[in-house]
């Protein structure tokens, strides 16, 4: 098999990269080790930044998003006694959209299997080779158990945090890794109940953070901060609803409950790996970096990476110029660190961990954001997403 860009991983980063390249006449093949059903069923992020929505529309992926996505003009920040709306268009002229990552992935897979480049599910033993030459390849075993080699000009490592690509880059470049683990996790539920709020609520509470998000007018997505050692079996639905109601309580407001259809505990970490390229192997998305979910940056950062990468690869493969490929890692990492800071800051401001001094600093910071236009604007600009500077 031969193609121009061999893409490892059919998450949002890999699928969107393949789509962006196809639109610009560059061939690719996507190799995914899971099944289509598994990839489409993974419940993950839910907030799309303005640039993510613009990008999806530009590559013809906006139809269902425009029909079913929920455009939101702000979020509520809450601490005891106060629920304050940050109005994004007023503060920074941009909005965000609620449209689940699973829906983005379903749309991209459907388009790819319809008339897009090849997408192979359930492959195994995926191994990039010769990435320090101009003719790299990817060895893998296909779904029928047959050993294959995909020859290509470039390999894109969009295989997530546990993928095979990053270790190759790190080993070959003597690369650097930075990591921060947090002393808390999120317990997330999906529930068949209409959201009890018009916009997302991010709530500080002495018992811990709570958040109210949604997926549609009849499906709510809610999270509570828990200790990372907690077991999901110890959290009955009633216990979760009680914690949510306590932490988001406000006079005159009531949390509606309904059947819980999914629940899980997500660990939280920040992680950045540099550089994001070795030779002809380029990393994008969670393969190179992880942010804690507070502030909803993970999926959007993956989209920003592949926007830069697609441009660099078109330049490299169609125009035979190496400048953008050479600049890719530094350019992507500048945005990664900005979003890593924002996610760390939102996480640090909103999660309690038993230190009374820190709790007072958190409340002081929340009050500042809710009373200073300058502080609110900074949050709004980062939350709605910086434009991707190509």
- Choose which of 128, 136, 157, 293 interacts with ligand DHB (CB under 6 A): 293
Contact region with ligand FAD (CB under 6 A), list: 3-11, 233-241, 271-279, 329-337: 3-11
Residues 166-205 that bind ligand DHB (CB under 6 A): 200
Specify the residue for token string 């779904």. Answer: 143
Q: Which is nearer to ligand FAD, 33 or 274 (CB)?
A: 33
Q: Which is nearer to ligand FAD, 153 or 286 (CB)?
A: 286
Q: Of residues 79, 99, 182, 383, which has the active-site annotation?
A: 383
**Lookup: tokens for 213:** 């998000």
> Residues near 184 by Cβ (< 8 Å), separated by ≥ 6?
208, 209, 225, 226, 227, 228, 268, 351, 353
**Lookup: tokens for 256:** 């509606």
Question: Using the 8-state DSSP alphabet, how is residue 325 labeled?
Answer: H
Residues 20-49 that bind ligand DHB (CB under 6 A): 45-47
Contact region with ligand FAD (CB under 6 A), list: 159-167, 198-206, 309-317, 382-390: 159-167
Q: Give the separation between CA 218 and CA 240, rounded to whole angstroms.
A: 19
Question: Using the 8-state DSSP alphabet, how is residue 227 labeled?
Answer: -
Number of helices followed by number of strands (H, E) in the chain = 12, 20
**Lookup: tokens for 342:** 């924002």
9 binds ligand FAD (CB under 6 A): yes
If contact means CB under 5 to 8 A according to the sort of partner, which of ligand DHB, ligand FAD, none does residue 31 touch? ligand FAD
Q: Of residues 51, 205, 289, 297, which has the active-site annotation?
A: 297
String marking each residue 221-260 x if it binds ligand DHB according to CB under 6 A: x---------------------------------------
Shortest Cβ distance from residue 168 to ligand FAD (Å)? 11
Known active-site residue 297: yes
Q: Of residues 12, 51, 72, 99, which has the active-site annotation?
A: 72
Counting every residue written for the chain, the total comes to 390
- Choose which of 164, 249, 359, 386 interacts with ligand FAD (CB under 6 A): 164
Specify the residue for token string 């158990």. Answer: 145
Q: Where are the beta strands (DSSP E) in the chain?
A: 5-8, 28-31, 47-49, 70-72, 74-79, 82-87, 96-98, 119-120, 124-129, 137-141, 147-151, 154-157, 176-191, 200-203, 210-216, 219-226, 260-274, 277-278, 281-283, 289-290
Known active-site residue 72: yes
Q: 40: left (phi > 0), else alpha (psi -120 to 50), else beta?
A: alpha
- What are the φ/ψ torsions at residue 200 (nearest 5 degrees)? -60, 145
- Choose which of 220, 273, 294, 340 interacts with ligand DHB (CB under 6 A): 294
If contact means CB under 5 to 8 A according to the sort of partner, which of ligand FAD, ligand DHB, none does residue 221 touch? ligand DHB
34 binds ligand FAD (CB under 6 A): yes
Known active-site residue 202: yes
Residues of this chain that bind ligand DHB (CB under 6 A):
45-47, 200, 213, 221, 293-296
Residues of this chain that bind ligand FAD (CB under 6 A):
8-14, 31-34, 39, 44-46, 101, 126, 158-160, 162-164, 266, 285-286, 293, 296-299, 302
Residues with catalytic function: 72, 202, 293, 297, 383
């Amino acid at each position: 098999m031969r193609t121009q860009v061999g893409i490892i991983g059919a998450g949002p980063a890999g699928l969107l990269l393949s789509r962006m390249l196809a639109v610009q006449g560059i061939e690719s093949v996507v190799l995914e080790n899971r099944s289509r059903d598994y990839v489409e069923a993974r419940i993950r992020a839910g907030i799309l930044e303005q640039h993510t929505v613009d990008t999806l529309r530009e590559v013809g992926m906006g139809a269902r998003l425009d029909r079913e996505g929920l455009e939101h003009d702000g979020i509520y920040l809450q601490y005891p006694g106060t629920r304050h709306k940050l109005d994004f268009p007023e503060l920074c002229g941009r909005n965000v959209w609620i449209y689940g990552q699973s829906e983005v992935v379903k749309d991209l897979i459907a388009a790819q299997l319809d008339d897009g480049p090849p997408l192979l599910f359930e492959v195994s033993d995926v191994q990039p080779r010769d990435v320090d030459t101009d003719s790299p390849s990817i060895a893998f075993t296909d779904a029928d158990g047959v050993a294959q080699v995909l020859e290509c000009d470039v390999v894109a490592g969009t295989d997530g945090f546990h993928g095979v690509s990053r270790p190759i880059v790190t080993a070959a470049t003597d690369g650097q890794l930075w990591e921060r683990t947090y002393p808390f996790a999120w317990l997330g539920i999906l529930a068949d109940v209409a959201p009890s709020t018009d916009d997302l609520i991010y709530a500080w509470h002495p018992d811990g953070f709570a958040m109210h998000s949604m997926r549609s007018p009849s499906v709510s997505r809610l999270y509570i901060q828990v200790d990372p050692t907690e077991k999901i079996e110890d959290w009955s639905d009633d216990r979760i609803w009680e914690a949510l109601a306590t932490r988001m309580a406000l006079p005159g407001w009531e949390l509606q409950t309904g059947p819980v259809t999914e629940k899980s505990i997500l660990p939280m970490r920040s992680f950045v790996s540099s550089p994001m390229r070795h030779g002809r192997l380029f990393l994008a998305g969670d393969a190179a970096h992880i942010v804690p979910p507070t502030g909803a940056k993970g999926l959007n950062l993956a989209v920003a990476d592949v926007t830069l990468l697609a441009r660099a690869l078109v330049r490299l493969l169609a125009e035979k110029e190496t400048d953008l490929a050479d600049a890719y890692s530094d350019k992507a990492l500048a945005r990664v660190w900005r979003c890593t800071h924002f996610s760390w800051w939102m996480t640090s401001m909103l999660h309690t961990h038993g230190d009374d001094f820190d709790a007072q600093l958190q409340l002081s910071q929340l009050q500042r954001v809710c009373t200073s236009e300058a502080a609110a604007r900074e949050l709004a600009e980062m939350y709605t997403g910086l434009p991707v500077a190509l």
